[in-house]
Structure 1
């Protein structure tokens, strides 16, 4: 993990140093436009470092869930909304199939949103070099015992031999990654009494399924 964290921090830190070195010359030249551009890039690089630190802290000290009884479609839609611009820019087609008649469940909406957003981002990352159509499909359903949220993609998929390992802390196949994203997602889902699994999608890509038990039948919410 240390190597992954160092790599993720080193790159933006190097960028900050480069832009800081250039600022002196730009100041002497009085080029306000380029100064402003450099400051924005320094800010963006700083945000990347902060994001890495936050992920590590979230894993070492995960937030206590603040459970409320609500519908699961809402945090799923929020996650899709947050990723919409990124997905559009990367040419990914999004398909949704939300069951309109799901029972309320006891969840922390922000943490569930975090899990779905992570799964969407992972799917997008897996398809970045794909030469065929890029698709992410998000579905919700209810089987009488648990509510499921499924995030599928048309990427290269996860080999069957690695499907259990991807949830191990610090395990990653991506260069320079900390390998804590899916571990954190699994921990959050388990804190909800649920499960997170991976299988092959209908496009032979990856399909992650989050299941949250519904212990009491309650009023339906669309």
Structure 2
């Protein structure tokens, strides 16, 4: 993946912070599962939390600025993460984790470094 390292780190930090907050607010603890694997002509990063999950009505607005699925959330973390991913020609999606919780899928295209 070729891109702005600082921006991509920011996007990942926002996603991980949201997952950790969802688990904490649900009174659950445990590791957030993170997986990285090749996917088509890019790479997919998958984050699974064991929080309460997201109702469909919240999920539809989740990437809008100031929309939050968490009490007291500012609603900027996911909007910023999505903007960063789109700037890198990637995709960001949120869905249900099998067994409960939330699954976030971040896909970024593979890039070649010029030599």
Q: Sort the TM-score into its range (normalised by shorter chain).
A: 0.7 to 0.9
> Rg bigger for which structure?
1
**Higher RCO structure, 1 or 2 (CA under 8 Å, sep 6+):** 2
Q: Which residue of 2 aligns with 1:128?
A: 24
For structure 1, the residue ranges without an aligned partner over 5 or more in a row are: 1-104
Aligned residues: 114
Say whether the 8 Å CA contact 2:25–2:51 is kept in structure 1.
no
Match of 2:96 among 197, 200, 207: 200
For structure 2, the residue ranges without an aligned partner over 5 or more in a row are: none
Is 1:150 aligned to residue 50 of structure 2? no
Q: Which residue of 2 aligns with 1:52?
A: none
Say whether the 8 Å CA contact 2:23–2:29 is kept in structure 1.
no
The CA RMSD over aligned residues, in Å, is 2.2
Alpha-carbon offset, residue 132 of structure 1? 4.9
Structure 1: distance between partners of 2:22 and 2:77 = 14
Say whether the 8 Å CA contact 1:134–1:155 is kept in structure 2.
no
Judged with a 3 Å threshold, the aligned counterparts in structure 2 of structure 1 residues 173 and 153 are, in CA distance, closer, same or farther, namely closer
Structure 1: distance between partners of 2:113 and 2:57 = 37
Say whether the 8 Å CA contact 2:46–2:104 is kept in structure 1.
yes
TM-score by length of 1: 0.47
* Larger helix percent: 1
